[in-house]
Chain A
Amino acid sequence: MFDVAVIGAGVIGAMIARELARYDLRVAVLEKEADAAAGASRANSGIVHAGFDAAEGSLKAKFNVEGNRLMAGVCEELGVEYKNNGSVVLAFGKEQEGTLHTLLRRGEANGVKGLKILSREELFEREPNASRNATAALFAPTGGIVCPYGLTFAALGNAMDNGAEFFPDFELVRAEKGDTLRLFSADGREIEAKYAVNCAGAGAAKIARLFGDTSFTIGARKGEYILLDSAADGLVKSTVFTVPTAAGKGVLVTPTVDQNVLIGPTSVEENTFETSIRRAAFAELISKAKAMCENIPFGETITSFAGVRAYCDRHDFILEESAAAPLFNAAGIESPGLTSAPAIGRYVAEKTAARLGAKRKENFSPKRKSYFFFRKLSDEKKNEIIAADPDFGKIVCRCESVTLGEILYALRANPPARTIDGVKLRTRAGMGRCQSGFCQPSVLETICKERGIGPLEVTKNGKHSEIIAGGEI
């Protein structure tokens, strides 16, 4: 019997679970996919927005600015890659310069600190590769970048280290309300809880309906990206935006915390949440990016991907107890949802704890060891670790220099990786320029050994995604 069932292990569910773990509560996290960070939290821009974009007085504005303020500290505690690289919004011509001033005023009203209009010269000094056609820019020093799935795994892992339980492959399909809540998965498992928090992203409206709540609907808007190799590192220092339009924040060019360059997202209304890339996406991304930045080395492209924004018909976050309680909806969390996650986690946990009359635990430990702890050490420290555990001396992924020790850590630490993608997202093995060509067979073998399964059972990212489909020879 659990006190709270958190439905959905995206960054929102993970941060909520982590904050709930501070209380004297038994927490279950239910996730339909084989791993956490399977939805929008896996494929987004990874920007910690400053907060000049969201409408004054909206929940988006409030949680964005608060989340931005909390992000550095949370990432420090959880060992997540974060960088305060600043954001720059480019204006091309007088009219757009006017929009910069609107953004500046809006940002200040939202409580964003340090916003400043840059002249053309100041812009080029900061971003030498910004388009020569730019005439001015808005600079937001509090803008940052974070590893979105890294944050999700770490927050969930920290929740688990503090007692929360994770149920992957648990697709919630039925909820029965009685003295307690009975929650059923598609494959017939059952969990009992007193209270549920709905943070199912794309599936949030469906979950609400299982409880009898039909108060909102969720729409899908796809965003496609291309990613350049770390050889392109240094192209831009800040996250570079153009002025927002009715269609959203538009395409951006940004460094990632792993020294890659990310270009995207597009914005395409869809009927489903599938993440395929349209044929037209590449030309669109390339031409938009070229209008923003000079010297982009498109030849260094190493992959492309897409994520789908799950927005609700209210066009703001839904963060409230449902009329069909015992359910709390954390839904419609589109951008800036990643930025807001630390603040949303805190808020929802406080509300839930108050509702259940829970007290704070004394032994909560907020710290978690980073997946990247090893590579950050000095050679002397690395040698000490290798002496104690020689697996850290064996490089498995040549492009990103990931060692066997790090892969085993990802397979063992909470939430344990179970798939090839699970290892990849945690350690970066397979995320470099060769895109797993070199390391995948060794990672597959390591997963087999560690989990006691055969090679035909190893999947890319869960059911039906077996890596080996032809059998053993």
Chain B
Amino acid sequence: MNRDIVVIGGGPAGLAAAIAAYDAGCKNVLVVERESEAGGVLKQCIHSGFGLTRFGENLTGPEYAHRFLAEAEKRGIEILKNTFVTGLSAQKEVTCMNESGIFRIRAKAVILAMGCRERSKGALNIAGTRPAGLLSAGTAQKYVNIKGLLPGKRVVILGSGDIGLIMARRLTLEGAKVLCVCEIMPHSSGLRRNIAQCLDDFGIPLYLSHTIVEIEGDTRASGVTVAAVDENKNPVPGTEKHFDCDTVLFSVGLIPENELTKRAGLRLDGRTKGAFVDGDRETQIEGIFACGNVLHVHDLVDFVSEEAEIAGRAAAAYVRGGEKQKELIPAECGENVSYILPQSVNKKESGAQKLFFRVKRALKNAVIEAETGAGTKVFRRIAVAPGEMENIVLSAEELVNAQKVKISVRGEQR
């Protein structure tokens, strides 16, 4: 089989990329999705809060996904469901497997949109037993929202990532008692609005700089011991608290799902855990693009869609005209910046370019400096936090003589 563009993954990133590629004139695009329905993780995010930026509306996850599914359908974009992509080569041969067997698709361009997975409890080196009742927050979300099953009745949540926060509220609404959320860092990794709406509104305590040091229960979980941690994240003796619980949820980070990316021979950025890309979201292999959570973990799907459209348009241009002339300059992390995406910028681009980045610490009255070698541009924010991705826009004029873009953030401790 031959295709102009193959999009791997039919979540919000894959769908938006396919639509953008189609609208940019590349009609021969195929989306491959392993699940029985497209929509990605949004299918199980039945809470609202999606689309505020993109549509100026407060949508649920499925509603947000549906907007893109409807657009894809209108264009007749083919989505191959129940089909697992099991291989990808640097020559852009995509290996798939489904009920009809194993087959290969040769693509002129490939868009990686596989999303991310949750970091598991096993990675955390927690002492104690390994009973039933330990699960990741996303798995609990799937049980509750898709399968109609309540994993447990008395719950402790480790990690204040957004999924954990959302699940604290969801489980409470379904009749479970959520005893607390523990976060090993001195700040939450989740959105501020989720802390307010999912914990504060329900009186669920959030213990910052705390972690679970031991799990109990032989068959089903029966309790956990929680302790405060010092600045090196080591438990402080004497601060232990005990909770009787039958369930522990882990919301301890998301990891881009890059097995295929690696198989194609691409190196991953240790900071984003995704491929290195330029402003077109083109990877280091010509004609392979990436977008969405497979590239870096986003907190808001609105930005996923925006990023995917960039990738989709660029892939269509690549199919039409081949690799374009680029003069890439590096994006460098300065003070208090943990990563920048894209990792390199094409200074020859005719339009303005948006750079996304995350800060390392929460600050207020923040001053963002973008240093290009040809000048420094300053941006201001009332507050910044690691859990909330920031972005700045640089115009073509600001970039034309640049040698790099180094972003630094300073401000007052929050």
Q: Which residues of A contact B (CB under 8 A)?
A: 226-227, 274-279, 281-282, 301-305, 379, 382-383, 386-387, 390, 393-395, 398, 401, 433-438, 440-441, 445, 455-456, 459-473
Contacts and interface: CB of A to CB of B under 8 A. Distances in A.
B202 interface: no
Interface residues of B, number: 50
A393 B153 contact: no
Contacts of A464: 219-220
Interface string B110-123: 00000001101111
B135 A455 contact: no
A437 B102 contact: no
Nearest to A226: B125
Contacts of B247: 469-470
12 contacts: A386-B102, A433-B117, A434-B117, A434-B118, A437-B117, A437-B120, A440-B135, A459-B132, A465-B220, A467-B132, A470-B149, A470-B176
Contacts of B216: 276
A465 B130 CA distance: 11
A393 B97 contact: yes
Given A382-B102, A393-B97, A435-B122, A468 B127 contact: no
B153 A469 contact: yes
Interface string B236-249: 00000000001100
B150 A470 contact: yes
B106 to A, nearest CB: 16
B127 A469 contact: no
B99 A472 contact: no
B133 interface: yes
Contacts of A274: 129, 218
Interface string B218-232: 111000000000000
Nearest to A301: B123
Contacts of B131: 460, 465
A53 B246 CA distance: 44
A275 B131 CA distance: 11
A470 B220 contact: no
Contacts of A435: 120-122
Given A463-B219, A470-B174, A281 B147 contact: no
A394 B144 contact: no
Contacts of B303: none
B127 A281 contact: yes
Nearest to B100: A393
B214 interface: yes
A438 B117 contact: yes
Contacts of A394: 82, 98-99
Nearest to A302: B122
Given A401-B84, A469-B132, 7 more contacts: A394-B99, A398-B117, A435-B122, A440-B135, A465-B132, A467-B133, A469-B220
B375 interface: no
Contacts of A401: 84, 86
Contacts, number: 143
A393 B125 contact: no
Nearest to A432: B120
Contacts of A440: 135, 139
A437 B149 contact: no
B149 A473 contact: yes
A441 B143 contact: yes
A445 B138 CA distance: 17
Nearest to B103: A383
B127 A276 contact: yes
Contacts of B125: 226, 282, 301, 304
Interface in B118-166: 118, 120-123, 125, 127-133, 135-136, 138-139, 142-144, 146-153
B45 interface: no
Contacts of B176: 470
Contacts of B143: 441, 468
Nearest to A439: B139
B213 interface: yes
Contacts of B127: 276-279, 281-282
Can you list the 3 inter-chain pairs with the closest CB atoms, starting with the nearest? A470-B150, A303-B122, A435-B120
Given A437-B138, A460-B131, A468-B143, A393 B98 contact: yes
B296 interface: no
Contact of A469 (B84, B101, B133, B147): B133
B34 interface: yes
B175 interface: yes
A438 B35 CA distance: 11
Most chain-A CB neighbours within 10 Å: which of B34, B127, B142? Answer: B127
B354 to A, nearest CB: 31
Given A302-B123, A382-B102, A435-B122, A462 B219 contact: yes
B379 to A, nearest CB: 34
A231 to B, nearest CB: 9
B22 to A, nearest CB: 28
Contact of A441 (B97, B142, B153): B142
A272 to B, nearest CB: 11
A386 B143 CA distance: 29
Contact of B153 (A382, A465, A470, A473): A470
A303 B250 CA distance: 14
Interface string B67-111: 000000000000000101010000000000111111000000000
Contact of A395 (B34, B149, B153): B34
A439 B153 CA distance: 22
B97 A473 contact: no
Contact of A302 (B120, B132, B148, B218): B120
Contact of A468 (B82, B84, B151, B218): B151
A471 B153 CA distance: 9
B11 to A, nearest CB: 14
Contacts of B100: 386, 390, 393
Most chain-B CB neighbours within 10 Å: which of A227, A305, A468? Answer: A468
B132 A473 contact: no
Given A437-B138, A469-B151, A398 B99 contact: no
Nearest to A303: B122
Nearest to A298: B125
Given A393-B100, A434-B117, A437-B120, A276 B153 contact: no
Contacts of A278: 127
Nearest to B149: A468
A473 B174 contact: yes
Contacts of A379: 102
A423 to B, nearest CB: 14
Contacts of B132: 459-461, 465-467, 469
A472 B122 contact: no
A276 B219 CA distance: 12
Contacts of A467: 132-133, 151
